[in-house]
Amino acid sequence: MIESLPNFPEHVLAFVCKGRVTKADYESVLVPAVTRALERNRKVRLYYETATDFAGIDPGAVWEDFKVGMEHLTRWERVAVVTDVEWIRIAIMAFRFLIPCDTRVFGTAQASDARNWIASKL
């Protein structure tokens, strides 16, 4: 499940992933939020957190994640990923070179640092 997180600036898209994440979660929550934000802002930032009960992501959801990222590649201003899931940390680090914006990975204990960083002025 993907949930939008409140209390972020308008140009910051913030989500938490709980339990098992599916393609339907992307289609019903994340993709519409990205579309709306990009209608209002030239560039947006992404805060993406995995909850302690995160149980994985379906292959269809991985593909949706990739498509959303690539479709709007030049419109991302910053990306913060908050996770203690090792394979996600490794994947972000391995593919960071494809993302033309500042992308950082934070541990769960650093979530407040990640929130401050994603909302701070450039």
Dump pLDDT digits (tens) for 74-91.
889 999 999 999 999 999
Domain boundaries, the chain: 2-119
Residue type, position 29, single letter: V
Which homologous superfamily does the CATH classification assign to the domain defined by 2-119? STAS domain (3.30.750.24)
Residues near 95 by beta carbon (within 8 Å), at least 6 away in sequence = none
Residue type, position 30, single letter: L
Longest Cα separation, the chain? 35
104 - beta bridge partners?
Answer: 80
Would the pTM count as exceeding 0.75?
yes
The dihedral sign for the CA sequence 17, 18, 20, 26: negative
Question: Model confidence at 60, in pLDDT bands (50, 70, 90)?
Answer: confident
* DSSP element (H, E) containing 12: strand 12-17
Residue 63's pLDDT is 82
Residue 90's pLDDT is 94
